[in-house]
Amino acid sequence: MKAYIVEKYHKKLGLKLTDLPKPEVGENDILVEVCASGVNLLDSKIKSGEFKLILPYKLPLILGHDVAGVITQVGKNVQQFKIGDEIYSRVADFRIGTFAEYIAINESDVALKPKSISMEEAASIPLVALTAWQALVEKANLKKGQKVFIQAGSGGVGTIAIQLAKHLGATVATTASEKSFETLKRLGADVLIDYKTQDFETILRDYDVVLNSQDTKTLEKSLQVLKPGGKVISISGPPTPEFAKTIGAPWFVKIILFVMSLGILRKSKKLGVDYSFLFMRDDGKQLQEISKLIEQQVIKPVVDEVFTFEKTNEALKYVESGRAKGKVVIKMK
């Protein structure tokens, strides 16, 4: 099969197209013929080596976390799926590799593709929707009547998180450029802040939750908009010692993450708010719940651009540029 691989960690080097054997299918696995794959900033960060402490992959490595496709083979213990099923998934860490013609996935990480959307739309959903779900439902326990600030509303996570937060009954504030305002209003944003001309920390007050996806400076400003007891959940770091425990990190990684997060943990404690880091995980059951919301048209995919498989490196560069509004997808055929 054809696949795009990382040969060595590097920010500027592209992925290499190569021929590899089809993946082996374990007893609890399904083999999927890839129809479309979502492209995420996480792919770029892994390629550059930014996450090698947290995710110590062996190289060469096939990139890609999001997939939509058709099952061509099932392991002997698989019960939920059959050959011919159309599925989508955010595959597990250390089993990634959706920038390829085939991938083997544990059935626990898979959900049936919503019938109301295309393969390309389905491939855009898993990682960003699971991130939004785990941040707003699991960690924040967002309730009706609460206020949430979702940074970078026009990005992949932002477009889904706004829709989910609105469904949960929250008032939603977000940052974006003014040209994205109309789209974000349609998705459910109530308070729109032009990051080019306005400072969100002077506008927002007494918020219950912040979903941070930006740099440390923005994160520190975000602490100021929370009410006492509020929560800031960051998907861009810094990772915390608590996170290090959950992934079973070695002692030296725990020390590094402790030092990295010490400043923000002290500042949040002083202000009486809670800081936590979210590194989203694969979860087929949560994806099934998200599928229901898609079928009910509560959540709608937002796809910026679809690239052919041959232009995978161009797709990754476009994501790295920060210009994408919604998700970028690679189409196999």
For residues 107 and 176, membership in a common domain is answered with no
- What is the rounded end-to-end Cα distance, in angstroms, of the chain? 14
For residues 270 and 310, membership in a common domain is answered with no
pLDDT tens sequence across 88-142: 999 999 999 999 999 999 999 999 999 999 999 999 999 999 999 999 999 999 9
For residues 258 and 135, membership in a common domain is answered with yes
Pairing between β-strand 274-277 and β-strand 303-308 as defined by DSSP bridges:
unpaired
Q: What is the model's pLDDT at position 72?
A: 98
For residues 135 and 40, membership in a common domain is answered with no
Q: Are 245 and 254 a contacting pair, CB within 8 Å?
A: yes
Split into its structural domains, the chain has a count of 2
For residues 136 and 269, membership in a common domain is answered with yes
Domain with 19 in it: 2-125+301-331
For residues 248 and 166, membership in a common domain is answered with yes
List the beta bridge partners of residue 235.
Answer: none
Residue 125 φ then ψ, to 5°: -90, -50
For residues 120 and 132, membership in a common domain is answered with no
Q: Are 93 and 249 a contacting pair, CB within 8 Å?
A: no
Residue tagged 């469904």 (tokens): 167
List the beta bridge partners of residue 328.
Answer: 39, 305
- 187 lies in some domain: yes
- Give CA–CA dist 65/127, Å, rounded: 7
The amino acid that residue 211 corresponds to is: L
For residues 10 and 110, membership in a common domain is answered with yes
Mean pLDDT along residues 147-166: 98
Q: What is the model's pLDDT at position 160?
A: 98
- Give CA–CA dist 222/266, Å, rounded: 14
For residues 134 and 273, membership in a common domain is answered with yes
For residues 262 and 188, membership in a common domain is answered with yes
Mean pLDDT along residues 304-330: 96
Q: What is the model's pLDDT at position 247?
A: 86
- 253 lies in some domain: yes
User: Closest by alpha carbon to 87, among 134, 35, 43, 39?
Assistant: 35
Length of the chain equals: 333
For residues 97 and 116, membership in a common domain is answered with yes
For residues 75 and 136, membership in a common domain is answered with no
| CB burial of residue 322 (10 Å; 0-12, 13-18, 19+) | exposed
53 pLDDT band, cuts 50/70/90, is confident
pLDDT tens sequence across 2-28: 999 999 999 889 999 999 999 999 999
DSSP string of 70-85, one letter each residue? EEEEE-TT--S--TT-
Pairing between β-strand 16-19 and β-strand 29-39 as defined by DSSP bridges:
unpaired
CATH number for the domain that contains residue 81: 3.90.180.10
User: Closest by alpha carbon to 113, among 291, 290, 281?
Assistant: 291
CATH number for the domain that contains residue 272: 3.40.50.720
